[in-house]
Copies of this chain bind each other. A is one copy, B any other.
Amino acid sequence: MTTPVRDQVQHVFDRCRPLTGGAVADYIPELATVDPDQFGLAATVLSGETAGFGDVDTLFTLQSVSKPFAYALALELRGFDAVDAHIDVEPSGEAFNQFSLDPLTGHPRNAMINAGAITATSLLPGDADEATPALLDYLGRFVGHPIMLDEKVFRSESETGHRNRAIAHLLRSVDVLEGEPDDVLDTYFRQCSALVSTRDLSLMAATLANGGVQPLTGEVLMPPLVLRRVLSVMATCGLYDGAGDWLTNVGLPAKSGVSGAILAVLPGRVGAAVWSPRLNEHGNSVRGVAAFRMLSDEFGLHVFEVHRETADVRPGGER
């Protein structure tokens, strides 16, 4: 990574550090115990080189950032037809824990809201004993090391996750979910409790930016069509209620989680991640949203940014 780029990322980090607005998630008791001042920011180019600042090696739980990966694994292992028969790809504009299923199809609107994410996890082959290690192994391949779980967070979610239990039973009652709700939730709560660092997340983002190929190991982790699908859904549904606002102002496929993490992807260019626990009213990290807005503006990363001087007259097929 060139020094000017590293300096620009550092500059964004420095300017976001003073932002202490927002509040740590408390819907799971265990999440509320985190030190709210922590802040990590990392960007990884397609060579795998990472520029990291702040608490980039502190571990936190993946929470909803696990959703695009579980969705990708379900798409790869079960195929588009099987998955699309259960989960739609429409933006919902709804809060992350919203119930409502599409009134026409009866399906969860997309795999980024809880109803769709629980369904995606339920589509992983096998029961919880089989699906959980398969999913954790998959996540581990993105970060290059085995994934540990935060057992306290897992138990906390498992005991207090009444809304997720409600969602799972509802999905079961309309036959969107085929397995036992408690069984599926066991895997789902575990994937949410997976521990990663900001540096790990940045590498995960870079793998998506790099066409699904892990930059350091060279392993192909997402086939092109699965990757395209996952990025498309992240672009419209990745940031909870603020989806339109995010796509308009930041313009990157991304996914946030209530632990305060946000991962974002500039396809073909760079992956990046922020972690800072204080959340805005939509459940997105305050520093994370601010950092990505600045990164997008300063680097011109918005996918619909047209650089006039370099506009290319050749159609895409000739790239």
Number of copies of this protein chain within its complex: 4
Instruction: Identify which of B45, B231, B237, B253 contacts A313 (C-beta below 8 A).
Output: B45
User: Does A170 contact B162, Cβ atoms closer than 8 Å?
Assistant: yes
Q: Does A229 contact B (CB under 8 A)?
A: yes
User: Does B269 contact A312, Cβ atoms closer than 8 Å?
Assistant: yes
In the complex, chain A residues 264-294 whose Cβ is within 8 Å of any chain B Cβ: 266-270
Cα distance, A304 to B236, chains bound together (Å): 12
User: Does A211 contact B306, Cβ atoms closer than 8 Å?
Assistant: yes
Say how far A215's CB is from chain B's closest CB, in angstroms.
Answer: 9
In the complex, chain A residues 183-230 whose Cβ is within 8 Å of any chain B Cβ: 209-213, 224, 227-229
User: Does A304 contact B46, Cβ atoms closer than 8 Å?
Assistant: no
**What is the 8 Å Cβ interface bit string for chain A, positions 292-319, against chain B (1 contact, 0 not)?**
0000001111111111101111111111
Q: Does A167 contact B (CB under 8 A)?
A: yes
- Given A90-B93, A269-B314, A315-B45, verify A302-B163 contact (CB < 8 Å): no
Say how far A304's CB is from chain B's closest CB, in angstroms.
Answer: 4
Q: Does A166 contact B (CB under 8 A)?
A: yes
- Given A166-B167, A317-B299, verify A306-B224 contact (CB < 8 Å): yes
The size class of the interface chain A forms with chain B is 35 or more
Say how far A4's CB is from chain B's closest CB, in angstroms.
Answer: 8
B-side contacts of A228, CB under 8 Å: 251, 302, 304-306
Say how far A319's CB is from chain B's closest CB, in angstroms.
Answer: 6
User: Does A91 contact B162, Cβ atoms closer than 8 Å?
Assistant: no
B-side contacts of A93, CB under 8 Å: 90-93, 109
- Given A5-B317, A170-B99, verify A304-B247 contact (CB < 8 Å): no
Cα distance, A110 to B244, chains bound together (Å): 9
- Given A162-B181, A301-B316, verify A247-B232 contact (CB < 8 Å): yes
Cα distance, A169 to B210, chains bound together (Å): 42
**What is the 8 Å Cβ interface bit string for chain A, positions 72-103, against chain B (1 contact, 0 not)?**
00000000000000001111110000010000
Q: Can you name 16 extra interface pairs (CB under 8 A) apart from A89-B245, A224-B305? A: A45-B314, A88-B244, A89-B248, A91-B93, A162-B169, A165-B181, A210-B306, A224-B308, A228-B251, A228-B305, A232-B247, A233-B248, A236-B236, A268-B310, A269-B315, A269-B316
What are 20 of the A-B contact pairs (CB < 8 Å)? A5-B315, A45-B313, A46-B311, A89-B248, A91-B93, A91-B244, A93-B93, A109-B244, A166-B170, A210-B308, A212-B308, A228-B304, A232-B248, A232-B251, A233-B248, A235-B304, A237-B244, A268-B307, A269-B311, A303-B303
